[in-house]
Amino acid sequence: MRTTRVVSRLAVATGAALLGLTGLAGVASADDEKSDAPTDAGTSFRTATAIRPDQEATAQASTGDYLYWAFPVDTGQRATVHATVKLPDAAARHADATWQVDVYDGLRRRQACRLGTPTRTAAQDAESVSLSCSLRTVRAWSEQWANDPLPGTYFLRLTVRDLKADDLGLPVSVTTKVTTTDAGGAQAVDGSLGEPLVPGAGSDKQRPAAVTEPEDGWAGGWWSSRWLWTAGGGVLAALAGVGGYALTRGSGRPARVPQGL
């Protein structure tokens, strides 16, 4: 029937539109200001250098330094930190060295890596070493006793372990980058924080210069892709109702009512 074909086409078009909207919601915005990429690193939580997601930062340092960067992660996002260290010439080194990245939230609680290689040993003749750490999905709300990742400022710390004393102070070049993905509505929870976990929010003296926020501002925990699927489900239900009616009403003339009833 013509009505059935129209309803089917509307359903297909609606489904395609929903998939397109969901894809757009999860695409991270590109960084258009490459010239502003940081070229140094902090040496403590308070002096951490601010970086934005998908922004590549570089730094020149000495082996043995503690290097810090800070970046924002919002509700529903999964962040992965990447760090590559270009090592000194092999002739200047005396032994293998173990490098490590750690990630802390706004309360300086160390966050576990669900994926990646946060610790790696570089051989004495290695030219570089690459590290990574993928965090758990940031939740909008959590119990006070839990160590769940919450929206706010996160800190990346890079350091070297198990280093021979003779290799302290040798120059290294470091490249870091943070990438984020949207975990989707399946990870959404009810409730939200009053404010994101930003260190020193009430004091300029304790507030690190690295404090940043997402380009579109903090989500506040109210938005997730569940809204898209809820609205889409309502539309599809309405279309199904129209289609069901068109299929069951019949195309012939209504039956005559017997006389005398």
Q: The tokens 């003749």 sit on which residue?
A: 125
- What is the Cα–Cα distance from 23 to 99, expressed in whole angstroms? 36
pLDDT digits (tens, 9 = 90+) for 157-194: 999 998 999 999 999 999 999 999 997 655 555 556 66
User: Which tokens go with 41?
Assistant: 């690193």
Both structure tokens of 26: 């999860």
Q: Where are the domains of the chain?
A: 31-229
**Cα Rg for the chain, rounded, in angstroms?**
27
Beta-strand ranges (E) seen in the chain are 49-50, 57-62, 67-73, 77-86, 97-104, 110-111, 119-122, 128-134, 152-161, 171-182
pLDDT at position 81: 98
Please say whether the structural domain 31-229 has been given the CATH code 2.60.120.380.
yes
Pairing of strands 49-50, 67-73: parallel
CB-based contacts of 94, cutoff 8 Å, min separation 6: 124, 164, 166, 167
CA distance 27 to 180: 9
CB atoms within 10 A of CB 36: 9
pLDDT at 231: 60
What are the two backbone dihedrals, phi and then psi, of residue 75, each rounded to the nearest 5 degrees? -55, 135
Tens digit of each residue's pLDDT, the chain (261 residues): 444 454 445 444 555 555 454 444 444 444 455 568 899 999 999 999 999 999 999 999 999 999 999 999 999 999 999 999 999 999 999 999 999 999 999 889 999 999 999 999 999 999 999 999 999 999 888 777 788 899 999 999 999 998 999 999 999 999 999 999 997 655 555 556 667 888 765 444 444 545 567 777 777 544 455 545 556 666 777 777 777 777 776 555 555 655 655
Please report the pLDDT score of residue 53 as a whole number: 93
Give kind and range of the element (H or E) at residue 3.
Answer: helix 2-25
